Structure 1
Amino acid sequence: MDIFSKYNYEEICVDLGINIEDLLCLIEKKTIPKQIERAEYTIVHVTEKFKKLIKQQQVNGRKSLQTVRYYINFINRFEQFVYKVNPEMSIYSLNESLFDDFLLTCQPRQETVLSPGTINTYIGILRRLLSFAHYEGYLDKDLRYRFERHSTKLLPRYYQDSHLKAMLEMTKRKTHAYLWSTILWFLLGTGCRVSELINVRVKDFDIETNLLYTVGKGRKERYIPIYPHIKEIVLEYLYLTGVKEWNKGLTGYLFARDHGVKRERKLSVRSVQYQVHDIITKLGFDRRFNVHSFRHTFAVNCLRAGMKIEYLSQILGHDNPATTYTYIQLLPIDLKSEIMNKFPFPLEKLVHQIYGTGVYEHGQHSDGDRPIYH
């Protein structure tokens, strides 16, 4: 006979640190299977099950295709590494030491080490894997504590005006120069992520309300003001690519590989990244610059113009203003400029408060080298 209960057994299992099978055994007064049986599950067995879950989350709309591809790519590489070490390695063997050995096998092509941000992303995936393993009963306890994210400080990566001028000049030498020039201006004037840029529809660029509609991480919707200069550039680009008049019925992609009003073939993230990387490389810029640097540049420019951090956070799609602060760190040379523009602060008043005397007179001394104030 089925028994219905008001209790949420899944939440109870999480609180107790056990899985649903063990709880049912306790309720039915059965003996819990020996833990050694669970230890027989291999890393590869669990990762294969985990990949199926991730793919299903993409089907259900809980994860984007780009995120799923990133997860699967990482897990596949990690599986290949485990196969070489020991294909029968238990899921209990998944720890930081094994992860460190894996990192040594995946150095990027032109760098000596992986960035802290990339390592933290990998750690996040492994933590989700262990959480999944615990929930499904492949582990008898939660082992996520083995992987702690490292504290990282995002370095300033925004373009100077001279950078932007050189990059825009470089787009003139490219095939479909109008396309790549418009994309650079669009990124600079909206702060969009590249994954958002490629999914913008013509109708989303609403020239009647002067608002750009976009969907960001976690399928969060937001609106971004359209600056007049960006509006002019995009409308000219649309005219050149077959959209003679904008209207709300145009559902094709704003930045498309095909021209006309249908515009069904959107650009890929990789193609935009490649074109920007090619420009950066040819100009000899610091290799830390990339497409995402336009988002940093947008944030810094908004801050310099006096925009409140709360409004900037909303435009960027950040739930927490603390996240926005990581985007607006100034480069040392700009920090110096900003500070010097605010100088001189009333140093003489500060001296008076400290010494209780007058302003220091340069070159006047008494009692040896002691300065005189009046």
Structure 2
Amino acid sequence: MKNVNVCLNFFIEYLQIEKNYSQYTIVSYISDIEDFFTFMKKEVIQHLEDITYHDIRLYLTTLHKRNYSRKSISRKISSLRSFFKFLVREEKLKDNPFTLVSLPKREQKIPKFLYEEEIEKLFAVSDLQTPLGQRNQAILEVLYGTGIRVSECCNIKMSDIDFAIGTVLVNGKGGKQRYVPFGSFAHDAIEQYVHDGRKQLISKRKASEDHSYLFVNHRGDPITDRGIRHALNEMIKKASLTLHIHPHMFRHTFATHLLNEGADMRSVQELLGHAHLSSTQVYTHVTKEHLKKIYMSHHPRA
């Protein structure tokens, strides 16, 4: 097909309607594919059907020269493979040249997590007499107590919380929903915030009507990813922790602490909302390291 942008728009519709991917995921696909289109322009490749295996190898070389990590290169190739596979399925192209390309092996990075004493320091910093202090405590308890993603935390609505049985309905990636339990500490923190702090923050809204989102900012509007990150950074400063902590670390900590206490892999996979067990298995490296440290510290023949 001559017009590559027409193909891309066609693919975007497929991702939105058939795959029901989030806007964030779709933007990543667009970025990866448009980067390849720029490469095609430089190499004077006018049509998608003209791309050869040699061209793809040259593209990979340019990515390496631009110092892309193996993870980023894998993502780009995966996006392009899906794009061309879709065009072949729709009979816009005869062949998918990316089927011949193998993905580079990923660097196996062990997820960073917080130790229990570090978590306890964070739990102790919020002023529970203030609306923002109550909100921050509730956010912290929810992130650590459920292991949900920050984006999932932002999207929790009041109706998603079931205090009677202690569960929250989480809207995950690709529109998939799952129920995640939360404990008594999260229950108490959310309840105090909902009945006190949230009401005070909502009263500051310029709009007269309430909205259904659980977590709000200082103006009473739904909180964003950035807002949660800022709140966590402020808590970290107050706790005087020197570690570089990012919100996703609470998800890592949730999984690691569960496995360290004997939880089975399948249950942790379901709680995290991982589509594949391999995504959860990375945490076994952390728990093995934890066991090794215990062994080295306590075994008389270590």
Measured after TM superposition, the shift of residue 341 of structure 1 is: 6.8
Counterpart of 1:119 in structure 2 is 73
Q: How does 1:1-374 map to 2 (within 5 A)?
A: 41=1, 45-46=3-4, 48-59=6-17, 62-86=20-44, 88=46, 90-91=48-49, 92-93=51-52, 94-102=55-63, 104-105=65-66, 113-152=67-106, 153-165=108-120, 176-238=132-194, 239-242=196-199, 252-257=212-217, 265-273=221-229, 284-286=242-244, 290-330=246-286, 334-340=290-296, 343=299
Q: State the one-letter code of the partner of 1:75.
A: I
Task: Work out which of the two has the higher radius of gyration on C-alpha atoms and give 1 or 2.
Answer: 1
CA distance in 1, matches of 2:34, 2:236: 31
- Percent identity for Structure 1 against Structure 2: 23
Q: TM-score, normalised by structure 1?
A: 0.63
- Would the alpha carbon gap of residues 125 and 222 (structure 1) be closer, same or farther in structure 2, given more than 3 Å must change? same
Q: TM-score, normalised by structure 2?
A: 0.76
Aligned residue for 2:285, secondary structure, equals coil
Q: Which runs of 5+ in 2 are unaligned?
A: 202-209
- Would the alpha carbon gap of residues 73 and 204 (structure 1) be closer, same or farther in structure 2, given more than 3 Å must change? same
Measured after TM superposition, the shift of residue 169 of structure 1 is: 6.7
- Would the alpha carbon gap of residues 51 and 290 (structure 1) be closer, same or farther in structure 2, given more than 3 Å must change? farther
CA offsets, 1:134-160, max 9 Å, x none? 234443223232332233224232122
- Would the alpha carbon gap of residues 295 and 55 (structure 1) be closer, same or farther in structure 2, given more than 3 Å must change? same
Q: State the one-letter code of the partner of 1:51.
A: N
Instruction: Tell me, yes or no, if the aligned pair for 1:182 and 1:233 is still in contact at 8 Å.
Output: yes
Measured after TM superposition, the shift of residue 204 of structure 1 is: 1.1
CA distance in 2, matches of 1:87, 1:272: 45
CA distance in 2, matches of 1:166, 1:80: 49
Aligned residue for 2:76, secondary structure, equals helix
Counterpart of 2:205 in structure 1 is none
- Would the alpha carbon gap of residues 140 and 279 (structure 1) be closer, same or farther in structure 2, given more than 3 Å must change? farther
CA distance in 2, matches of 1:342, 1:230: 34
CA distance in 1, matches of 2:171, 2:275: 14
CA distance in 1, matches of 2:218, 2:236: 26
Instruction: Tell me, yes or no, if the aligned pair for 2:259 and 2:265 is still in contact at 8 Å.
Output: yes
- Would the alpha carbon gap of residues 211 and 59 (structure 1) be closer, same or farther in structure 2, given more than 3 Å must change? same
Measured after TM superposition, the shift of residue 228 of structure 1 is: 0.3
CA distance in 2, matches of 1:324, 1:269: 23
CA distance in 2, matches of 1:55, 1:266: 28
Measured after TM superposition, the shift of residue 118 of structure 1 is: 3.0
Instruction: Tell me, yes or no, if the aligned pair for 2:11 and 2:86 is still in contact at 8 Å.
Output: no
Instruction: Tell me, yes or no, if the aligned pair for 1:299 and 1:328 is still in contact at 8 Å.
Output: no
Q: How many residues are treated as equivalent by the alignment?
A: 284
- Would the alpha carbon gap of residues 78 and 267 (structure 1) be closer, same or farther in structure 2, given more than 3 Å must change? farther
- Would the alpha carbon gap of residues 77 and 321 (structure 1) be closer, same or farther in structure 2, given more than 3 Å must change? closer
Measured after TM superposition, the shift of residue 128 of structure 1 is: 0.6
Instruction: Tell me, yes or no, if the aligned pair for 2:132 and 2:218 is still in contact at 8 Å.
Output: no
Instruction: Tell me, yes or no, if the aligned pair for 1:130 and 1:142 is still in contact at 8 Å.
Output: yes
Counterpart of 2:206 in structure 1 is none
Measured after TM superposition, the shift of residue 273 of structure 1 is: 4.7
Instruction: Tell me, yes or no, if the aligned pair for 1:212 and 1:223 is still in contact at 8 Å.
Output: yes
Across the aligned residues of Structure 1 and Structure 2, the Cα RMSD in angstroms comes to 3.7
CA distance in 2, matches of 1:344, 1:327: 28
